[in-house]
Structure 1
Amino acid sequence: MANINNIRMFTRVYELENMSAAARDLRVSAAVASSRIGELEKQLGIRLFTRTTRSIQPTEQGRIFYPKALKVLEALEEAEAAVHEITLNPRGSIFVSAPLGIGRRLIAPNVAVFREKYPEIHTRLRLSDRALDVAGEGLDVAFVVGNPPDSGLMMKPIATFERVLCASPEYIRRKGRPVHGADLISQDHDCLLLRFPGSTEFRWSLNTSDGFQNFDVKGPFACDDGDVLTEWALDGRGIINKPTFEIQHHLDSGALIPVCQKSPPPNTQLAVLYPHRKNQDPKSRFFIDFMSDTLKAALA
């Protein structure tokens, strides 16, 4: 396939009827210009110009090739213009996933704001507390809470926030208020568990006086929807382990009370995952940057 720079040089030599003038026009040396014409002739297997010491004239094949070459260059310019337009005004659909809690409270409302800024980008939002296969399920962007497994995906950290163990006043009156992580086991507390295939939330990691320890907690209630766990906790069914921002209003009102304050959960991370190729996709890049800045401000 002919090199596009060689084709561009050919058209300028054809139009200006002068190798040196064409070289100056394209800001290369006369030697480079001559080399490019020679390469193109070799690739095509024809002579494009008849050269003398005083002039350069197109051959019959050169005259036939010229209008075709112009169409190639025009098509390239149109393609470049289209790409430039998409970069400045991206359009199309992006497929996004997020955990239920942060998805409902922060992602979904800001998707609407993003649409106002980029009306040609359509966001397909999927909310689930289940771990999703980003590549296998065709996702462009996936928000995750915690430490995702090594998947070969690109990751952009957004914010770090606290988690808290808490329960309702009614539960604490009935079952007592655990102080240490070990109390969850020794006092047989009901822990509300986020469970789905592959889930590990039944093992809570807590920061004790001896460092981080894992506790194999248990309870009669489990669900794959974190908001259901919160409702159960409000109803006095047990203890939940939740990001503070999701339940701050319940903590402020006293509807939920922190427990195990001598053994708090470690802080957790909100991050966005995306396939490496999506870093070059303007609509995905714009969405990631917008949501990252917006969520950092909201969680500050």
Structure 2
Amino acid sequence: MFLILYGEDGCTLTLTLHWCHVRFSSPPLLAAREKIKGLSFDTHSDTRTSIVDNQSSGIFLSANFVLATTRPLFHAGNIAMDYFAAVRAFINAAELLSFSKTAHEMAVKTSTISRYVSELEKDLGIALFNRSTRGLVLTEGGRLFREHAMIALQALDDARQVTSSLNLTPQGVLRVTMPSAFGRRHIVPHLPAFMTRYPDIDLDIVSTDETLNMIEVGIDVAIRIGVLPDSSLMAKRIAPHRRIVCGSPAYFQRSGMPHVPEDLTAHDTLRLSLLPDDKWSFTRVADAQASPEQVQVQVELQGRLRADDSEAVLELAVAGCGLALLPTWLASKALREGHLQHVLPEWEARTGRAEPAVWAVYPPKKIVSSKVRAFVDFYAEMFGEPPYWDDDLALALKP
């Protein structure tokens, strides 16, 4: 509860009552003594002092007195908000170079704008405008203050919008693009639950293995897999992306099992034609403390089959046509059912030091829309850590 008092010099005095907490903020203190009878306090101290109201008034308060004289108040209420209101008036006046035009723009009196600027100048100890019959001209101090004040106001606006957006109901059309195989297995099956949770969001799904220009085609969120290239886009990791060597029991019975990556040179391998060369690179996951040079191996491959689709490679591997390097999100079902076996469990395929992942990517914006945030958070929660497709494979993946 606030009790607002006005001193004879025009300064605002604020008495804040928090049950047994009283706070005064503003000089002069003599005005408070004249306005509130029965209160005793030290007019010279800037430290906390106990004050007690006269019991005859029917209220007994034991509280702390706080003297704050570093910044004048321009309105009753919160000091910082009043100060920002004055700064906004100054910014508008600096833009329009007229107090009357600024007052019209802000729907207040011209005298209010003039008082705001005067109080700012008093607080800063410097003139912000040179005033003449022709209008207003910013001083050097005014230009400097305007430059920094605009940054502060923009930060305040952003903070308010970000915070208030948390209460906004996610709604509208959400355009999402995703790799075909991953989308079919791990995005589409969970869409009914997502749409039930967020009934005001309409979805437009673009399933493609091409990397689309999100801004040009109007994509809100893209699911991307691997190591992201440097770009201005924003991204959140929503799951790991692990690739392992797999083969069918029939293939291993016929050709034997590799025990180290170098053994792959003697095996038939199934390669994605999307990859730049016929090489697989491995990192020894069991030696997490070793340097990358000690644990990375690159192997030249051979084989008679290529495909530009990961699901086709999976089917060929199950059919016994060779060994395949497959992501666990794609191969986990075949592994659980015994159609594929995981070999080289101490090794994981990586193309460099950066760890690949499943990413939610969205255009760069100061404030992420509530519908985008809802989609990204939903799938991060749904996948889990470790992701559900790795649950039954944990021992094999991390020996």
- For the aligned pair, the TM-score class normalised by the smaller chain equals 0.5 to 0.7
Secondary structure at 1:280's aligned position in 2? coil
| Among candidates 230, 234, 256, match of residue 154 of structure 1 | 234
Q: For each residue in 1:92-150, what CA deviation from the matched residue of structure 2 results, as whole angstroms up to 9, or x when unmatched?
A: 22221222333222111222211111122122222334444434443221122221111
Q: For each residue in 1:199-236, what CA deviation from the matched residue of structure 2 results, as whole angstroms up to 9, or x when unmatched?
A: 44743211259421232424332223211111111111
Q: Does 1:212 align with 2:296?
A: yes
Equivalent-residue separation in structure 1 for 2:178 and 2:223 (angstroms): 5
Q: Does 1:234 align with 2:314?
A: no
Equivalent-residue separation in structure 1 for 2:346 and 2:320 (angstroms): 22
Contact 2:280–2:301 (8 Å) recurs in 1: yes
Contact 1:278–1:284 (8 Å) recurs in 2: no
| Among candidates 96, 100, 119, match of residue 41 of structure 1 | 100
Contact 1:161–1:268 (8 Å) recurs in 2: yes
Q: Which runs of 5+ in 2 are unaligned?
A: 1-10, 12-73, 112-163, 288-293, 392-399
Quote the residue 2:269 is aligned against: 191
Determine which structure has the larger helix proportion and give its number: 1
TM-score, normalised on structure 1?
0.66
Larger radius of gyration: 2
* Counterparts in 2 of 1:215 and 1:139: CA distance versus 1, 3 Å: farther
Quote the residue 1:281 is aligned against: 369
Equivalent-residue separation in structure 1 for 2:301 and 2:213 (angstroms): 27
Q: Displacement, 1:40?
A: 5.0
Secondary structure at 1:277's aligned position in 2? coil
Quote the residue 1:118 is aligned against: 198
Equivalent-residue separation in structure 1 for 2:321 and 2:203 (angstroms): 37
Quote the residue 1:138 is aligned against: 218
Contact 1:93–1:121 (8 Å) recurs in 2: yes
* Counterparts in 2 of 1:265 and 1:274: CA distance versus 1, 3 Å: same
Equivalent-residue separation in structure 1 for 2:347 and 2:330 (angstroms): 20
Q: Which runs of 5+ in 1 are unaligned?
A: 1-19, 52-83
Equivalent-residue separation in structure 2 for 1:95 and 1:110 (angstroms): 16
Equivalent-residue separation in structure 2 for 1:253 and 1:119 (angstroms): 36
Q: For each residue in 1:46-104, what CA deviation from the matched residue of structure 2 results, as whole angstroms up to 9, or x when unmatched?
A: 9x9799xxxxxxxxxxxxxxxxxxxxxxxxxxxxxxxx799622322222122233322
| Among candidates 176, 182, 203, match of residue 262 of structure 2 | 182
Secondary structure at 1:192's aligned position in 2? strand
Contact 1:128–1:225 (8 Å) recurs in 2: no
Q: For each residue in 1:236-291, what CA deviation from the matched residue of structure 2 results, as whole angstroms up to 9, or x when unmatched?
A: 11211112243223223321112334544257422211111284222112211222
RMSD of aligned residue pairs (Cα, Å): 3.9
Aligned length: 244
* Counterparts in 2 of 1:119 and 1:237: CA distance versus 1, 3 Å: same
Quote the residue 2:327 is aligned against: 243
1:190 alignment partner AA: D
Quote the residue 1:293 is aligned against: 381
| Among candidates 175, 184, 189, match of residue 95 of structure 1 | 175
Alignment identity in percent? 29
* Counterparts in 2 of 1:49 and 1:248: CA distance versus 1, 3 Å: closer
Equivalent-residue separation in structure 1 for 2:369 and 2:190 (angstroms): 20
